[in-house]
Each structure stands twice: as structure tokens, then as C-alpha cells.
Structure 1
Amino acid sequence: MFAWLLLWLVLIVQLAAGAFAYGFWKRRRRPARHRRWWLLGAGTGVLGYAHTLAYGFALTRPAEICGQRTLDDDYPLTHTRVDVFPPAFECHWTDSSAYGPSHPTAAGVWLLWCGAALLVAGTAAWAANLPSPAPRWARAGAVLAPAAAATLWVTRVAPLMGLSETDLSNECFRWQVAHLHSAPSGEITGTDRGLLPPAVDCVFTDGTVNLVRAEAFGLSCCLAVFLFCCFRCAALRLPRSP
């Protein structure tokens, strides 16, 4: 508990110091908007990553990070899970199947995503303001579409593909319970994964379900938007015949 409070105190102090330094730099240099977003994004991302790495000793001492749910230990800790990117540490309890795991590193992960969003916004603003005959929306779309695809992959597809066979089978069972009226009613016989197109299949005795079907469609849409924006930018750069 003391380590948890200390890390939060350090994070608050670092945020305050960073805000003061950013205000001083902005007032003195008066940079362009995209440069301000780049600096904010980089600083926020580094701070979030450092805050999340501060929980590194949780790999060897998870009980001290997760703590106890109640004084009489009604809901003991069952296992922990560590994600490399974005770095996160989860505490799974006996009732996590109903209420979800707890995330001691949630603040750092949110700062990481805020930093990434600011970096992408700054890059899109920079691309939109470049002197070019291509429309601004096409230049910004060429940046935003890959960023949206990367977000879908990192947040939805990669975590499912990284699960062990046991955890993936449990995920299939949870999906079956959540979609009781539309899901196959048979037992789970296995799982299968594919990269292109991305697929995480739950194989039941009476059917197969892809858990990332919506995400695969979103990735296809991002690819189509990216190619269309690139084609639009390239078409206006080609010399026109007399």
C-alpha cells in the first residue's frame, strides 16, 4: 500500500513539474501547434511508460502490488497478467470473471494512450499544413488511418492472439455466455488463430466463431481509407498531359 501511494505521489509531482515546464517553453518559444502537440505527446508518453515500469517488481512480488480485496481475504488473488505493449499489470481475483481484473497500472496506460493520441494529432496537423496540391483531408487521412489500424490491433487483436490456450478457451466460454441466444450452443472443442486476415476462432461442436471479426472489418476499412488517401495525393502530383 505504501509503494502504491508513493508512486501516485511521484506521478502527481511529475505532472505538475511537466505542466510548469511546458508552460514556460510555450510562452518563450511560441511554437507551432503541431510542435506543441509533439512535445506534449512525447512527454506524456514517457511519463506514462516510466510510471508503468515502476511496477516492474510486481513480477516477483505480485501480492504486494495487488494487495488484498478484503481484510478477511474473501476474494484471494488467483493469478497475475503482464502485457508488454502497452505495458500493463493486471490482478485477477476469484471474482474477476464477474467484475473484471483490477489494474494498478491504469494511470500509466492512460497516459501512454494520451501521449500517442497527441503525437498522432500533431503529425496529422503537420501533414495537413504542408504546401501541397493534395487536399488537406487526404494528407491527414494518410496519417490517421494507420494510427486507427494500429490502435485496433494493439487494443483488440494482439491481446487475444497473445492468450494461452487455456485463457483463450475461457474467453470463448465468456463470449458464449454473453451471446447466449445467438452463439453456438455446443461445447468448445478447440481454438485457432490466423494472421492474414486476422482471426481468433472459437471452434464449437456446432459452429465456429471469430472473436475479432468486427476488428478485422475495421482494419480493412482503415486500409481502404489509407490507400484512397495515398492515391488521391499521388494523382494530384502526377504531371498532366497537354
Structure 2
Amino acid sequence: MFAWLFLWLVLGIWLIVGAFAYVVWKRRRQPARHRRWWVLGMCTGAVGYVHTLAYGFALTRPTEVCGQRTFDDDFPLSYVRVDMFPPRLACYWTDSAAYGPSHPTAAGTWLLWCAAALLVAGTVSRAITLSSRTPRWARAGTVLAPAVAAAIWATGIAPLMRLSAVDLHNECFRWQVAHLHSAPSGEIVHTERGFLPPAVDCVFTDGTASLIRVETLGLSCCLSVFLICCAALRLLKAPMPL
């Protein structure tokens, strides 16, 4: 318990010191807007990653971090899940089915996502301010579309791809219960996974359901936007025929 409070205290000190250093740097150097966002993104990412490591990724004892939740063993720990990207430590208890798992590294994970958003914003700002006759929306789209696709993959597809066969089977069962009126009502036969195109399917005795249908649609939209922006950059950059 004291270690948990100490890490939150250290995180607060890091953020205050970093904010002070950023304000001093901005007043002295007067950097461009995209450089400000880049520096903010890199510093925020460093703080978030170090904070996440402090919770057990590098200490190789995540069960001890999760064990700080209770002392009377009212809700025994079921298992621990460690994800490297985005870095996350999830503690699954016997009551997690109703209330969800606990995430001791939530603060560091959110800081890392904020850092990624700041870096993308700085890159988009730089692309827009470039001296070019190509439209700004096309330049911004070539950066935003891959960034959104990466976020969709990291949050919605990659976690399912890393699951074991048993965990994926349980995930299919939870999906079936959550979509009781629209999901197939038969028993789960097996699961199927694929990378190109991405697919995570639950095969039932009376049908097949995809767990990443929305994510696949999002990836398709990102690819379409990226191709349209690249085509616009190519066509509008070409010299006009005489």
C-alpha cells in the first residue's frame, strides 16, 4: 500500500518538474508549435514508460503488485496479464467478471497514449505548415490515417491476437452472452485467427461471428483515406501539361 502511494507521489513530482522545465524551455527558445508538441510528447512518454516499469514490468514480479489490493483474501487473485505494447499490467480477481480487472499501471498507460497523440499532432502540424502546393488535408491525412490504424490495431486487435486458445474461447463465450439476442445460440466449436486480413472469428455450431468486425471496418476506412490522400498528393504535385 505504501509503495503504491509512493509511486503516485513520485509521478506527481515528475509531472510538476517536467511542466516547469517545459515552460522555461518554451520561454527561452520560442520554438515552433510542432516542436513544442514533439517535446511534450517525448517527455510525457518517458514519464509514462518509467512509471509503468516501476510497477513491475522490469521487476518481473507483477503478482506482488496485484497482491496489494487486499489483505484478507476476500477476492483471490485469478491471474495476471502483462502487455508490452501498450505496456499494461492487469490484475484479474474472482470478481473481475462483474467489476472488471484492476490496472495498477493505468496512469502510465494513459500518459503513453497522450504522448503518442502529442507526437502525431506535432507531425500533422509540421506537415500542414510545409510550403507546398498540395492541399493541407492530403498532407494531414497521410499522417493521421496510419496513426489511427495503429491505435485501432493496438487497442482492439492485438490484445485478441495475443490471447491463448483458452482465453480466446472464454472471450467468445463472453461475447455470446453480451449479444444474446443477435449472436449464434449454439456451442463454441473452435476459434480462428488471421493477420492478413486481420480476423478473430468464433465458430459456433450454428454460425460464425467476428470479434473485430468494427475494428476491421475502421482499418479499411483508414486504408482508403490513406490511399486517397497519397493519390491527391501525387496528382496535384505533378506539373500541369502545356
The Cα offsets for residues 138-189 of structure 1, whole Å up to 9 and x where unpaired, read as 1011100000000000000000011000110110000000000000000111
**Residue 121 in 1 paired to residue 121 in 2?**
yes
**Residue 175 in 1 paired to residue 179 in 2?**
no
Q: Secondary structure at the match of 1:83?
A: strand
Structure 2: how far apart are the matches of 1:59 and 1:206? 46
- How far apart are 1:63 and its partner, in Å? 4.1
Structure 2: how far apart are the matches of 1:141 and 1:196? 23
Q: How high is the sequence identity, in percent, across the aligned residues? A: 71
**Does the CA contact (< 8 Å) of 2:80 and 2:92 recur in 1?**
yes
The Cα offsets for residues 186-220 of structure 1, whole Å up to 9 and x where unpaired, read as 01111000111110001111111110011011101
Structure 2: how far apart are the matches of 1:5 and 1:147? 34
Q: Secondary structure at the match of 1:201?
A: strand
Number of residue pairs matched by the alignment: 242
Structure 2 letter corresponding to 1:55: Y
Instruction: List gaps (5 residues or longer) in structure 1.
Output: none
Structure 2: how far apart are the matches of 1:69 and 1:31? 45
Partner of 1:93: 93
Partner of 2:146: 146
- How far apart are 1:3 and its partner, in Å? 1.5
Structure 1: how far apart are the matches of 2:149 and 2:218? 7
Structure 1: how far apart are the matches of 2:180 and 2:195? 28
Instruction: List gaps (5 residues or longer) in structure 2.
Output: none
**Does the CA contact (< 8 Å) of 1:82 and 1:88 recur in 2?**
yes
Q: Secondary structure at the match of 1:103?
A: coil
Structure 2: how far apart are the matches of 1:104 and 1:231? 45
Structure 2: how far apart are the matches of 1:75 and 1:49? 29
Structure 2 letter corresponding to 1:183: A
Q: Over aligned residues, Cα RMSD in angstroms?
A: 1.3
How high is the TM-score relative to the length of structure 1? 0.97
The Cα offsets for residues 53-97 of structure 1, whole Å up to 9 and x where unpaired, read as 112268643443123555532211111000011111010000111
Structure 1: how far apart are the matches of 2:136 and 2:162? 38
Partner of 1:184: 184
Structure 2: how far apart are the matches of 1:211 and 1:64? 32
Q: Secondary structure at the match of 1:186?
A: coil
> Could you say if the C-alpha distance between residues 195 and 218 of structure 1 is closer, same or farther in structure 2, counting changes exceeding 3 Å?
same
> Could you say if the C-alpha distance between residues 57 and 220 of structure 1 is closer, same or farther in structure 2, counting changes exceeding 3 Å?
closer
Structure 2 letter corresponding to 1:61: R
**Does the CA contact (< 8 Å) of 1:42 and 1:119 recur in 2?**
yes
Structure 2 letter corresponding to 1:226: F
Partner of 1:84: 84
> Could you say if the C-alpha distance between residues 65 and 58 of structure 1 is closer, same or farther in structure 2, counting changes exceeding 3 Å?
farther
Structure 1: how far apart are the matches of 2:35 and 2:153? 27
**Does the CA contact (< 8 Å) of 2:80 and 2:90 recur in 1?**
yes
Structure 1: how far apart are the matches of 2:124 and 2:143? 6
**Does the CA contact (< 8 Å) of 1:68 and 1:77 recur in 2?**
no
Q: Secondary structure at the match of 1:28?
A: helix
**Does the CA contact (< 8 Å) of 2:63 and 2:80 recur in 1?**
no
Moved more, 56-65 or 5-14: 56-65
Q: Secondary structure at the match of 2:209?
A: strand
**Does the CA contact (< 8 Å) of 2:52 and 2:108 recur in 1?**
yes
